[in-house]
Chains A and B, each alone.
Chain A
Amino acid sequence: DAGITQSPRHKVTETGTPVTLRCHQTENHRYMYWYRQDPGHGLRLIHYSYGVKDTDKGEVSDGYSVSRSKTEDFLLTLESATSSQTSVYFCAISEGFNYGYTFGSGTRLTVV
């Protein structure tokens, strides 16, 4: 999707290892979000950021941490990956106020 990229697109990792997913934007939007998508659950918010070094937890934040040292990058880290974290992860950006989101293409993570 234009202006927002996620990397990697696919990753297989072993239980107990740390994993970092990257979201990069070129739109200079203030707000960035990490969601996970699972069948039967839709999209659930993990963490979000409202500025450089300003982050907060979403509804399913246990086992995840984030960092935002620059406007354009928002990193999601699984501190010690578990099989329950096998999912598709989406990053989204927003200008805020009455704007919606622009989504990245997603990262499919498999924890074995």
Chain B
Amino acid sequence: AQSVAQPEDQVNVAEGNPLTVKCTYSVSGNPYLFWYVQYPNRGLQFLLKYITGDNLVKGSYGFEAEFNKSQTSFHLKKPSALVSDSALYFCAVRDESGGSNYKLTFGKGTLLTVNP
């Protein structure tokens, strides 16, 4: 079975400060990991993914994420937060050995608020 946890329901940061949104996962095989962002009354938008290769993945809007296999984590980071980054962020995982249905399991989401 595959699962993902986002331990923080909310994260508050000041504009210009670095931000981190945490994600840990559990899979049987190798993980495929994703981050999505949801703005109010909108669908989810893809930010970045880790499939294989470099542990540091760069994505849209200046976001990046670091894959850490020993800690089973995939934390989302940005060096300097913007007020416009305020949104709901979802981490998702798929087990490489999970068969051909390619289902993603999502975390419960973390609400990021960037204060001016």
- Taking Cβ atoms with an 8 Å cutoff, the residues of A that contact B are 1, 31, 33, 35, 40-45, 48, 50, 56, 58, 90, 92, 94, 96-106
Residue of A1, A31, A94, A101 with most chain B CB atoms under a 10 A cut-off: A101
Given A31, A40, A103, A104, which contacts B102 in the complex, CB threshold below 8 Å?
A31
Residues in B with CB closer than 8 Å to A106 are: 42-43
Residue of B42, B46, B90, B106 with most chain A CB atoms under a 10 A cut-off: B106
Cα–Cα distance between A54 and B101 once the two chains are bound (Å) = 11
Residues in B with CB closer than 8 Å to A102 are: 46
Q: Supply 12 further A-B pairs (C-beta < 8 A) apart from A94-B102, A100-B104.
A: A35-B106, A42-B109, A43-B106, A45-B103, A45-B105, A50-B101, A96-B100, A96-B102, A100-B46, A102-B46, A103-B43, A105-B42
Are A90 and B102 touching (Cβ within 8 A)?
no
Are A48 and B108 touching (Cβ within 8 A)?
no
Annotate B21-54 by CB proximity to A: 1 below 8 A, 0 otherwise: 0000000000010101000001111100101000
CB distance from A7 to the nearest CB of B (A): 14
Q: Which of B69-111 contact A (CB under 8 A)?
A: 90, 92, 100-109
Cα–Cα distance between A103 and B43 once the two chains are bound (Å) = 6
CB distance from A104 to the nearest CB of B (A): 6
Residues in B with CB closer than 8 Å to A92 are: 44
Given A41, A50, A99, A105, which contacts B43 in the complex, CB threshold below 8 Å?
A105
The size of the chain B interface, using a CB distance under 8 A, is 23
Cα–Cα distance between A21 and B32 once the two chains are bound (Å) = 29
CB distance from A44 to the nearest CB of B (A): 8
> For residue A59, which residue of chain B has the nearest CB?
B105
Are B101 and A48 touching (Cβ within 8 A)?
yes
Given A48, A104, A105, which contacts B103 in the complex, CB threshold below 8 Å?
A48
Are B102 and A97 touching (Cβ within 8 A)?
yes
Are A33 and B108 touching (Cβ within 8 A)?
no
Cα–Cα distance between A43 and B42 once the two chains are bound (Å) = 14
Residues in B with CB closer than 8 Å to A96 are: 100, 102
- Can you name 16 A-B residue pairings with CB atoms under 8 Å? A40-B108, A42-B6, A42-B106, A43-B106, A45-B103, A90-B44, A94-B102, A98-B51, A100-B49, A101-B34, A101-B36, A101-B44, A103-B44, A103-B45, A105-B43, A106-B42
